[in-house]
Amino acid sequence: MILKEEIDSNKIEAEKMIEAGLHFGHKKNKKHPKMEPYIYGVRGGVNIIDVSKTEEKMKEAFDFLLDVVSKDGKVLVVGTKVQFKDIVKGFAEECNFAYVTERWLGGTLTNFDNIKKRVDYLKDLEKQKEDGSLEKYTKKEQLDISREIESLKKRFEGLKSLSKLPDVVFVLDMEKDHLAVKEALDKNIKIVAIADTNVNPELANYIIPANDDAVSSVSYILNNLKEKVLSLKK
């Protein structure tokens, strides 16, 4: 028996998702055929995502991620769209997830040992700067090293918490970051992803059918997940 409170709660959640714009997909001529089960209809030439399906699949994805976190597994969040960089960085740092917000570097997963060497090199330079070891160099050399640190941070800062390959990769746009998806598949790493109407949902193990362009949509998803992750860690 379904309680009235459950119906009301579902309705409120659906309204919140619509307010955040999760239901807006891409134009109908860009629809990936395998996203058809998650599409409610077409309005003004734009595919409209069924938010009841979004809610259902988001719960599955969150339950999986929370299980990974509860077992001290490592999550790597990938969101390289310009409008999401600050949001992703803040979300990942609060949840203690690794992250990539700049251009995906080929080999981040498939050649992880080399990437880790660069990360370790960055950590070593930062340590030397912090403990004063760099003072033995000339001012010009110190300036050059500081510039190198900033360059390395831009590419590797978000990977410093990874001592091994992540247990799951959370991709915010499967089309833009298709290389991250490909590398995760190559390494048999689980994939959680936001799936807009233009992507193949079967590339991910868990999907969240939703708008992957709007800041309000992505923020809604990340804020909801962050609340659950932080609650789990209390």
Q: Which of these, 172, 226, 168, 225, lies nearest to 196 by C-alpha position?
A: 172
Whether residue 86 lies inside any domain: the answer is yes
Alpha-carbon gap, residue 232 to 194, rounded angstroms: 22
Q: What is the pTM of this model?
A: 0.92
Alpha-carbon gap, residue 222 to 35, rounded angstroms: 22
Higher pLDDT, 155 or 11: 155
Element (H, E) at 100: strand 98-100
At 146 the pLDDT is 84
pLDDT > 90 in the chain, percent: 79
Whether residue 101 lies inside any domain: the answer is yes
**CB distance 50 to 38 below 8 Å:** yes
Q: Please check whether residues 95 and 69 belong to one and the same domain.
A: yes
Q: Please check whether residues 192 and 125 belong to one and the same domain.
A: no
pLDDT digits (tens, 9 = 90+) for 122-160: 999 888 888 877 778 788 887 888 898 899 999 999 999
Mean pLDDT (the chain, rounded): 91
Q: Please check whether residues 181 and 87 belong to one and the same domain.
A: yes
Q: What total number of domains does the chain contain?
A: 2
Instruction: Quote the tokens at residue 220.
Output: 């809604």
Alpha carbon of residue 195 to chain centroid: 12
Q: Which domain holds residue 195?
A: 21-109+165-233
Residue at which a domain ends, from 96, 123, 158: 158
Instruction: Quote the tokens at residue 26.
Output: 């891409």
Q: Please check whether residues 139 and 84 belong to one and the same domain.
A: no
pLDDT digits (tens, 9 = 90+) for 98-131: 999 999 999 999 999 999 999 999 999 888 888 8
At 10 the pLDDT is 60
Whether residue 16 lies inside any domain: the answer is no
Q: Which of these, 218, 223, 179, 221, lies nearest to 85 by C-alpha position?
A: 218
Whether residue 146 lies inside any domain: the answer is yes
CATH number reported for the structural domain that contains residue 132 in this entry: 1.10.287
Q: Please check whether residues 105 and 123 belong to one and the same domain.
A: no
Whether residue 153 lies inside any domain: the answer is yes
Q: Please check whether residues 105 and 26 belong to one and the same domain.
A: yes
Q: Please check whether residues 203 and 191 belong to one and the same domain.
A: yes
- In which band, very low, low, confident or very high, does the pLDDT at 7 lie, cut at 50, 70 and 90? very low
